Amino acid sequence: MQKIKIYDTTLRDGMQAEGVSFSVEDKLLIARRLDEFGVDYVEGGYPLSNPKEEEFFHRIQEVPFKHARIAAFGSTRRAANTVEDDTGIRALLACNVPVVTIVGKTWDMHVTDVLRCSLEENIALCADSTVYLKKQGREVVFDAEHFFDGYKHNPAYALKVLQAAAEAGAGTICLCETNGGALPEDVFQITRAVVSALPGVTVGIHCHNDSDCAVANSLAAVRAGARHVQGTINGLGERTGNANLCTIIPNLSLKMGFETVGADNLRSLTELSRFAYEVANLPPASHMPYVGESAFAHKAGLHIDALRKNQKTYEHISPELVGNERRFLISELSGSSNVLDKLEKKKMISDRAVARVILQKVQDLENEGYQFETAEASFDILVKKAMGSYTPSFELIKYHVDVERSELGRMVTEASVKLAVDGRIEHVVSEGDGPVNALDVALRKAMEAFYPNIKEISLVDYKVRVVNARAGTAARVRVVIESRDAQDMWGTVGVSENIIEASWLALVDSVEYKLLKDAGTLNE
């Protein structure tokens, strides 16, 4: 197996994504996780940009890395400076890391219109910077900015810049598809021409995703001979993002037969993806290939029936290879195989007749606006009801919600809940930040004396969706609540024309699920 060097630039390019900002602590956490995952290079940032980057490079010296080499990113010397006196070059060396990545111009338009120097002068500053950094004991990666656009406009000049950097000692010449507009066939042909023109030189690829081809372009470059691939975790990056290593790495390893991070590390890919989203304070992209929550989620009954017989029928790889898992979703599109699989996994029943009854109930409820894909706790309760094994933990007598605005303009929400548990009546009144919060507090207070463990429940998410918007203010709404305790997380759903009633139904299912789970009777 040929080795592809994986160069991660999440800590620089990824942080240029809109809405993303990493603290120094965040960057150190991500760097350590990338090293554990097995990437070859971790680009720490651009030290000249701000004090935070300087602090990162200072503190990274204290971190023992097992595999990855830390890289600092910067530019070639400015045309007006000598390399020894250039502020940017000195900042790169001050980072005291083993790898330095310098970006140089290869598009003649950028040389004349942006740098505003001669074409020959640009070649000299690329070569001077590389030679000097190499003499200081650094491994040099030369990022050829806008290379594919430059090559299309003036191929002879673009290649001349690369040859100068290679002759000056750059260990890797990385072709940057900076504007993200190239298509795979262009990247393949141009990369192949570079590999042919620079025998014995490691050629790399760095793609942006403006035409949604960053992954395809990266793979095309590898097919053409590139052996160094740059990208970010989850494709984070400026504009529409960078090439997504969470897709590139498994494609290289599992589809193209290259060595990347090793099979054992590849099994932690999904965990790495979700870790990066968490640190970036972003919701995970559920439909991302390989690592998304929906990547191996199946809804059609025909598909699930086939998968239960042979897992290769509707999956291109086994999800375990990338640390993900197979999920069968329950919906009106389900067949009895979907329901039967759910029941068998929960060690409940394997009776197709009962599964058909449950499926019919699911289809009827989804016709009313219910969805059980993210509300499996409500589905589990539905199953127990259908099987006749459900006993409610309380009997609701009534609830009431009142919202008032005080003379001082303060909103006051009050909820009362009256219920019976084992013949004993509890009537509780509570205030909350809103009607759902007030109902939740009142319900818990009413039940805590009988079921103390409901204190462990935390509501972590609350979503409202209008089901039939054309009905206007009389439309039904679907409320999905996500709850958790110290061990588990679960989702419940309620549907009604009244948002308070829909919320109450989801709240009750959440409490009932917790009690059934703790009692060990959920699967009986």
Map 245-276 to HEC letters: HHHHHHHHHHHCCCECCCHHHHCCHHHHHHHH
Query: Judging by beta carbons within 10 Å of its beta carbon (0-12, 13-18, 19+), is residue 404 exposed, middle or buried?
Result: exposed
Give Cα separations from 53 to 67, 399, 492 (angstroms): 22, 56, 44
Round to whole Å and give the CA distance between 53 and 184.
34
What pLDDT sits at residue 389? 85
Q: In the numeric block, which tokens belong to residue 271? A: 């965990």
Round to whole Å and give the CA distance between 299 and 301.
6
* Residue 236 three-state SS: coil
Q: Which helix (H) or strand (E) holds 151?
A: helix 147-153
List 432's β-bridge partners, or say none: 413
Q: In the numeric block, which tokens belong to residue 268? A: 């932690």
Identify the residue whose tokens are 């699920």: 513
Q: Per residue in 68-101, pLDDT tens?
A: 999 999 999 998 899 999 999 999 999 999 999 9
What pLDDT sits at residue 467? 78
> Residue 111 in contact with residue 128, Cβ under 8 Å?
no
Round to whole Å and give the CA distance between 116 and 110.
8
pLDDT < 70 regions, the chain:
299-305, 307-311, 314, 328-352, 469-474, 524
Q: In the numeric block, which tokens belong to residue 439? A: 């109902």
What pLDDT sits at residue 211? 96
What pLDDT sits at residue 163? 97
Residue type, 226: A
Query: Judging by beta carbons within 10 Å of its beta carbon (0-12, 13-18, 19+), is residue 445 exposed, middle or buried?
Result: middle
H-state helical runs in 61-138: 87-94, 108-110, 119-135
What pLDDT sits at residue 221? 98
pTM: 0.71
Identify the residue whose tokens are 């008032």: 404
Segments of 344-476 assigned E as strands: 395-405, 411-421, 424-432, 458-466
Average predicted confidence (pLDDT) for the chain: 89
Other CB atoms closer than 10 Å to residue 473's CB: what's the count? 5
What pLDDT sits at residue 180? 95
Give Cα separations from 240 to 89, 237, 458 (angstroms): 30, 7, 36
Q: Which helix (H) or strand (E) holds 139?
A: strand 139-145
What pLDDT sits at residue 1? 82
Nearest in space to 394 (alpha carbons), one of 369, 430, 428? 428
> Residue 417 in contact with residue 454, Cβ under 8 Å?
no
What pLDDT sits at residue 356? 76
List 19's β-bridge partners, or say none: none
What pLDDT sits at residue 160? 97
Domains of the chain in start order, with CATH, are 5-280 (3.20.20.70), 297-364 (no CATH), 369-385+456-524 (3.30.160.340), 394-450 (3.30.160.740)
